[in-house]
């Protein structure tokens, strides 16, 4: 059964989405494709938690339409992970783990510095 979104977009969503795309250099963080609407690769911003009001950096990656549609209902931050995460996903899920397990709201740079430690919080052996 498909997951359903919740929450509402914040009043400044357009600005938030623009800043996320700009920070990603107008490239999809999953496949690296440039923003190219003519080729069906418009850059979007996806809420991994499916909660439109949650705009923490680790919840809103810049994804092209193809990647956005590919992961739309597949990523569930609440689900325990049994396999190694994809390289693009590691910083986002590590940010989630920091918040979920440690109660820490870390910046992207702080997460990158502690990436393996944070991923170990939910690594299944």
| CA–CA distance, 76 with 96 (Å, rounded to integer) | 11
Domain identity same for 94 and 116: yes
Q: What is the rounded CA–CA span in Å between residue 71 and residue 75?
A: 6
Nearest to 41 by CA among 28, 58, 56: 28
Q: Are residues 71 and 109 in the same domain?
A: no
Quote the tokens at residue 1: 């059964």
pLDDT given at position 53: 95
Q: How confident is the model at residue 103 (pLDDT cuts 50, 70, 90)?
A: very high
Question: Are 18 and 72 part of one and the same domain?
Answer: yes
* Average pLDDT over all residues of the chain: 91
Give the domain extent around 52.
1-76
Q: Is 0.85 surpassed by the pTM of this model? A: yes
Q: What angle do CA 55, 57, 58 make, to 5 degrees?
A: 105
Q: Do 91 and 54 belong together in one domain?
A: no
């Amino acid at each position: 059964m498909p997951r359903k979104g919740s929450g509402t977009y914040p009043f400044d969503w357009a600005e938030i989405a623009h800043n996320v795309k700009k920070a990603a250099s107008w490239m999809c963080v999953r496949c690296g494709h440039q923003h190219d609407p003519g080729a069906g690769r418009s850059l979007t911003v996806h809420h991994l938690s499916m909660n439109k009001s949650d705009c923490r950096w680790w919840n809103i990656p810049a994804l092209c339409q193809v990647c956005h549609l590919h992961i739309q209902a597949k990523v569930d931050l609440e689900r325990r992970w049994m396999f190694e995460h994809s390289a693009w996903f590691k910083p986002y899920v590590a940010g989630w783990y920091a918040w979920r397990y440690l109660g820490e709201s870390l910046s992207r740079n702080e997460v990158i510095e502690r990436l393996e430690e944070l991923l170990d919080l939910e690594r299944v052996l």
